[in-house]
A = this chain, B = another copy of it.
């Protein structure tokens, strides 16, 4: 069932769906995509596994109940409030389910297309559904793998002539983040309070963050973990990845600047991290694989892999002030600029023997491109507030203001179709008094 030719067929640019909205070349959820998520709706508030297609969601619980989904394992992995049990079945199972759903949704397949009652039971309009955090996340790690971002930050806060720290070109630098506060797109985010060190005062003051920022990132979700003491080799690492999401690593720059020495960011990041609700499988991203940037010096042996391991994913950030009609695009960039690949990140993470588990989330680090307007943070876009951004509606911005709604978007552009992530949105609420 999961033969390579079936997998290839799901990626065929000419495949169309009888769900017409999926065939719109600007819809994130083409039949080539078929990402997995967790949803509920007003007719059925049980959380369950779904697949996005056009403006619809395929309910996998209902599909299986109708006898249309063959899963060669315990049968109850879809009536769950997270994807973890499904993911734990392994790659053959993910592939097989995606292939079966693709075939059912293909224009020439009559099963659902011609049966209104069956369609009513198995499809839910996205507009009527609520999306939930797709995975239970046992561990969240955030990397720092954009050379442009690391260079910008180093130039701003350290030495413009030696902006990259000596270890940066050798190590896919990462740190452990706070898994408990990872929230799904749409969850409002409260501006954090914390210690701020103002330049004119000897001691820090306590108050609301004044330099609230985004970090435009992607994240990957572990599909197969590794045991303690058994590293994942770089050349096998991609087989351990279930899929990708967009990730906004909200950052309180003033809190970060004061707290981060010597053990790294803590309260400046731990208040919230937002991810997009649909996990796009690596299978769906395969046609968009491209070469990563040349790495010089050549990495140590445990970080080497042959072939292309980057992905051409277009990324965009918009900001919409409170009650504004129009959102302003403040950044456009691409995931393919990342210096370190996901495979290298995972190989490095585990080379010490550290174990990973199904559902672990790994953030890419802020994704900044080579130009001034392709930076993944306001810190860089406004050069720490020195160069305010002009919005098309709502004035200027140095950092985020209360009521601002920030949206990350990301998609691979195929020939006439998109493999996209859906929005990763968060509105900022005022700090607690």
Interface residues of chain A, those whose CB is within 8 Å of chain B, are: 138-139, 144, 165, 167, 170-171, 173-181, 183, 190, 192-195, 197, 203-206, 228-229, 231, 252, 255, 258-268, 270-272, 297, 300-302, 348-349, 351-357, 360, 432
Q: Does A174 contact B263, Cβ atoms closer than 8 Å? A: yes
Complex Cα distance, B171 from A267, in Å, reads 11
Q: Does B206 contact A302, Cβ atoms closer than 8 Å? A: yes
Complex Cα distance, B272 from A123, in Å, reads 46
B171, B190, B263: which contacts A229 (Cβ < 8 A)? B190
Residues of chain B lying within 8 A (CB to CB) of residue A183: 228
20 new A-B pairs (CB below 8 Å) besides A170-B203, A190-B229?
A: A144-B263, A165-B262, A167-B204, A170-B195, A171-B195, A176-B176, A176-B177, A176-B266, A176-B270, A180-B356, A181-B354, A181-B355, A183-B228, A192-B352, A206-B302, A231-B432, A252-B352, A267-B351, A267-B354, A270-B349
Q: Does B264 contact A263, Cβ atoms closer than 8 Å? A: yes
Contacts A/B (CB < 8 Å), 26 sampled: A138-B138, A139-B179, A167-B197, A167-B258, A167-B259, A171-B195, A174-B266, A175-B175, A175-B263, A176-B177, A176-B270, A180-B360, A190-B353, A192-B352, A193-B351, A194-B351, A206-B300, A206-B302, A228-B272, A260-B263, A263-B264, A267-B354, A268-B352, A270-B352, A270-B354, A271-B352
Least CB distance from A253 to B in Å reads 13
Least CB distance from A262 to B in Å reads 7
Q: Does B301 contact A353, Cβ atoms closer than 8 Å? A: no
Main SS class of interface, A = loop
Least CB distance from A148 to B in Å reads 16
Residues of chain B lying within 8 A (CB to CB) of residue A352: 192-194, 252, 255, 267-268, 270-271
Least CB distance from A178 to B in Å reads 5
Q: Does A206 contact B175, Cβ atoms closer than 8 Å? A: no
Residue on B with the closest CB to A188? B229
Complex Cα distance, B268 from A173, in Å, reads 12
Least CB distance from A157 to B in Å reads 9
Q: Does A138 contact B271, Cβ atoms closer than 8 Å? A: no
Complex Cα distance, B348 from A138, in Å, reads 23
Least CB distance from A158 to B in Å reads 8
Q: Does B353 contact A175, Cβ atoms closer than 8 Å? A: no
Residues of chain B lying within 8 A (CB to CB) of residue A261: 165, 167
Q: Report which residue of A175, A179, A353, A356 has the largest number of chain B beta carbons within 10 angstroms of its beta carbon.
A: A353
Q: Does B138 contact A264, Cβ atoms closer than 8 Å? A: no
Q: Does B206 contact A353, Cβ atoms closer than 8 Å? A: no
Residue on B with the closest CB to A264? B264
Least CB distance from A418 to B in Å reads 32
Residue on B with the closest CB to A175? B263
Residues of chain B lying within 8 A (CB to CB) of residue A262: 165, 173, 260, 264
Residues of chain B lying within 8 A (CB to CB) of residue A194: 351-352
Complex Cα distance, B230 from A139, in Å, reads 22
Q: Does B267 contact A195, Cβ atoms closer than 8 Å? A: no
Residues of chain B lying within 8 A (CB to CB) of residue A177: 176
Least CB distance from A355 to B in Å reads 5
Known contacts A180-B354, A180-B356, A181-B354, A263 near B139 by CB under 8 Å: no
Residue on B with the closest CB to A228? B181
Q: Does A175 contact B266, Cβ atoms closer than 8 Å? A: yes
Least CB distance from A339 to B in Å reads 15
Least CB distance from A201 to B in Å reads 12
